[in-house]
Amino acid sequence: MSFVDRYLSYFIAVSMILGVSIGSIFPNVSNYISSLELTGINLPIAFLIWGMIIPMMLSINFNSIIKIKDRPQAILITVIVNWLIKPILMTGIAILFINNIFSTWIDTGKASEYISGMILLGVAPCTAMVFVWSNLVKGNSNYTLVQVIINDLILLFAFAPIASFLLGVNQIKIPLWTIFNSVLIYVFIPLLFCLLMKKIVNNAAKIHMINNFLKPVSGICLVLTVLFLFLVQASEVINNPFQILLIAIPLIIQTFLIFFIAAILMRIFNQEKSIAGPASMIGASNFFELAVAIAISLFGVNSGAATATVVGVLVEVPVMLSLVGIVNNNDYLFPTRAKSFN
């Protein structure tokens, strides 16, 4: 284990504090980084995500992908959790906390917008960062890639009707370029890069050596991603700390619930850690670029819905790292080899 990986949680905590500090002291830096976008996708963060996911993609054995059709259970569980259970669960938890438990502290108008933003997060399962979480739990890279691609295909057709129904609006106009560019930037470009590298090097031992060299780089990129996210959103953290806390609590609870629902289903259907770990995290993680873009287009940049999606961005990495710890340390839910559930 590299020095960065060994103390990753400490580096993350420091990067959160440092990001907020720099963003509040130097708001022009925050504004400049925020402006470097392509259809809602922040380009500096995209480059850092490449640094995180390329080591995993280098380990993909493309000749073995066809064999995944013989193990469809985890794919089916992922689809059911992401597209049937999670949207309904997120909606119920958002209403319970924002409209009821926290109603004393939240204005009625803002409450409705907060709930809308949380629903958008609930209907947008992860596209890119799941590669990072999969890598940290030593996930099956072939299976993770297939799960992400299937998720993206469903996203194109299912996001709009599900979100429209849960939000109670007549029609949601999906920013297709956000989805297209996200899949292109986060999946296909690094995948193409890894294919070309394998073709050029044409030596499995050398590819393994390159991968080992890049693994510490992956951890550094994760730390810098957190720093950038908190730097960009520093004003939100400084100006609305209590509201952010109120939104963060149900989001964190929902994340843990959906993770354990997926994990238990994976365990019941006898899936080992390398498949069950990443699959449990796809639903727990969010496609926050899409959620933020739609919240802004529907409700405005200063709306409560936009704020809720931003809180989703801020809590995601620390919470997902805690789930990585659970996967790596719970041998009963996530056995290295498949066992019967009893």
Say whether pLDDT at 198 is over 80.
Answer: yes
- Please report the pLDDT score of residue 71 as a whole number: 77
Q: What is the pLDDT of residue 83?
A: 92
- Which of 15, 52, 11, 26 lies closest to 227 in space, CA to CA? 15
How confident is residue 197, by pLDDT bands cut at 50, 70 and 90? confident
Arithmetic mean of pLDDT, 310-327: 89
Sorted by where each starts, the structural domains of the chain and their CATH numbers stand as 70-202+235-329 (1.20.1530.20)
- Report the pLDDT averaged over residues 311-330: 89
Cβ atoms of residues 118 and 250 within 8 Å: yes
pLDDT category, 255, cuts 50, 70, 90? very high
For the chain, percent helix, then strand, then coil, each to nearest 5?
A: 80, 0, 20
- At 161, list the tokens: 């009707």
Burial 260-275 (b: 16+ CB within 10 A, else e): ebbbebbbeeebbbbb
pLDDT at 3: 63
Evaluate if residue 267 carries a pLDDT over 60: yes
Which residue matches tokens 């899949």?
A: 183
pTM of the complete model: 0.82
Most confident of 69-73, 151-155, 240-244: 240-244
Query: How high is the pLDDT of residue 81?
Result: 93
Q: Is residue 296 scored above 80 in pLDDT? A: no
Is residue 149 within 8 A of residue 131, CB to CB? The reply is no
Q: In this structure, are residues 148 and 341 in contact, taking their beta carbons and an 8 Å threshold?
A: no
Kindly state the percentage of the chain with pLDDT values over 70: 91
Q: Packing angle between helix 304-329 and helix 129-136, nearest 10 degrees? A: 20
247-274 average pLDDT score: 94
Could you give the CA distance from residue 335 to residue 273 in angstroms, rounded to a whole number? Answer: 5
Q: pLDDT at position 342, please?
A: 36
Q: How confident is the model at residue 52 (pLDDT cuts 50, 70, 90)?
A: confident
Q: How far is CA 68 from the centre of its chain?
A: 23
At 273 the pLDDT is 92
- Rounded to whole angstroms, how far apart are CA atoms 246 and 139? 33
Separation between Cα atoms, residue 74 and residue 77, nearest integer Å: 5
What pLDDT, in 10s, does the model give residues 153-175?
Answer: 888 778 878 888 888 754 556 66
- Would the pLDDT of 95 be above 60? yes
Mean pLDDT across 98-104: 92
The string of DSSP letters for 197-234 reads: HHHHH--HHHHHHHHHHHHHHHHHHHHHHHHHHHHHTH
Tell whether the model's pLDDT for residue 340 goes beyond 50: no
Residues 6 or more apart in contact with residue 102 via CB below 8 angstroms: 246
119 vs 41 pLDDT, higher one: 119
pLDDT at residue 189 tops 80: yes
Judge whether residue 339 has pLDDT over 70: no
User: Position 115: which residue type?
Assistant: I
Residues 174, 176, 181, 182: is their CA dihedral positive or negative?
A: positive
In this predicted structure, which of 73-82, 231-240, 283-292, 297-306 has the lowest mean pLDDT?
297-306
Q: Does residue 288 register a pLDDT over 50?
A: yes
Q: How far apart are CA 98 and CA 90, in angstroms?
A: 12
Query: What CA–CA distances, in Å, run from 67 to 63, 70, 213?
Result: 8, 6, 29
Q: How far apart are CA 12 and CA 322, in angstroms?
A: 12
Q: How far apart are CA 247 and CA 101, in angstroms?
A: 12
Q: Which amino acid is at 246?
A: L
Phi-psi region of 36 (alpha: psi -120 to 50; beta: other; left: phi over 0): beta
Cβ neighbourhood burial of 170 (10 Å; 0-12, 13-18, 19+): exposed
Q: What is the mean pLDDT of residues 260-269?
A: 94
Question: What one-character-per-residue DSSP string does 8-36 give?
Answer: HHHHHHHHHHHHHHHHHH-HHHHHHHHH-
- Please give the average per-residue pLDDT across 129-156, as a whole number: 84
pLDDT at 254: 95
